Amino acid sequence: MRITHLGHSCILVEAADARILIDPGNISDGWRGLTDLTAILVTHAHPDHVDPEHIADLVNANSGALCRAEAGAVAAVPQMDADPIMPGDVMEVGGATIQAVGGRHAVIHRDIPAIGNVGYLIGEGLGTILFHPGDELDEIPHGVDVLACPAYGPWAAMKETIDFVREVGADHAFLIHDGLLNERGRSLAYHRHDEMSDTQFHDLRVGEPWQVPER
């Protein structure tokens, strides 16, 4: 499995014969112009996870790609032309297995209405399992090898994300949801999560493909 962090919460996962893009939002632009995608997945409706202005161009450039999103995102961004995916749904795409988990976005504030959120488990045969949680820290799946860990959001503090990493217990991780941090903030988050858990963190900010080590 190869993983490329394309900015904020957007990652490209190359597993088996699949090229799977997750959360092409408006805080990042590294995903624009991508082609030959097998699947486009969206965790929830917030624009930093699905860019309503440019998503149609991506979908049109990848007309053969499977496009799935949390139900609220499907309704909020019809130009995505996606079908809804529900927690518990499982799909096979290009030899990779995709499972939707979770259900609710983390609470930002009690006065802000809650919305849906689905995380994605992506498996490569009997090998590596990647977990992209979107904006949710309540779902703790088992058997995760690589965790895409949110670095910061208005719905999370470091004390919560470090505990999340410890509970998931993956061998490897990298930070996502980092587009709201400056360079000092990213560096602080990276080192704290790496030092305070048994999970090895990898810095994928350069945007180069990272080959997941074999178990």
CATH of the domain at 66: 3.60.15.10
Q: Tell me the pTM.
A: 0.96
Q: Is the dihedral of CA 162, 168, 174, 176 positive or negative?
A: negative
Is a pLDDT exceeding 80 seen at residue 126? no
Is a pLDDT exceeding 80 seen at residue 28? yes
Would you place residue 136 in the very low, low, confident or very high pLDDT band (cuts 50, 70, 90)? very high
More confident residue, 75 or 126: 75
Q: Is 59 domain-assigned?
A: yes
Q: Is 211 domain-assigned?
A: no
Would you place residue 214 in the very low, low, confident or very high pLDDT band (cuts 50, 70, 90)? confident
| Structural domain total, the chain | 1
Q: Is 212 domain-assigned?
A: no
Q: Is 144 domain-assigned?
A: yes
Q: Is 213 domain-assigned?
A: no
Is a pLDDT exceeding 80 seen at residue 127? no
Q: Is 187 domain-assigned?
A: yes
Q: Is 214 domain-assigned?
A: no
User: 188: closest CA among 215, 157, 164, 212?
Assistant: 157
> What are the residues facing 147 on neighbouring strands?
131, 173
Is a pLDDT exceeding 80 seen at residue 125? no
Is a pLDDT exceeding 80 seen at residue 215? no
The answer to whether the beta carbons of residues 80 and 95 sit under 8 Å apart is no
Q: Is 97 domain-assigned?
A: yes
**147 is in which domain, residue-wise?**
2-204
- Give me the amino acid identity at 71: A
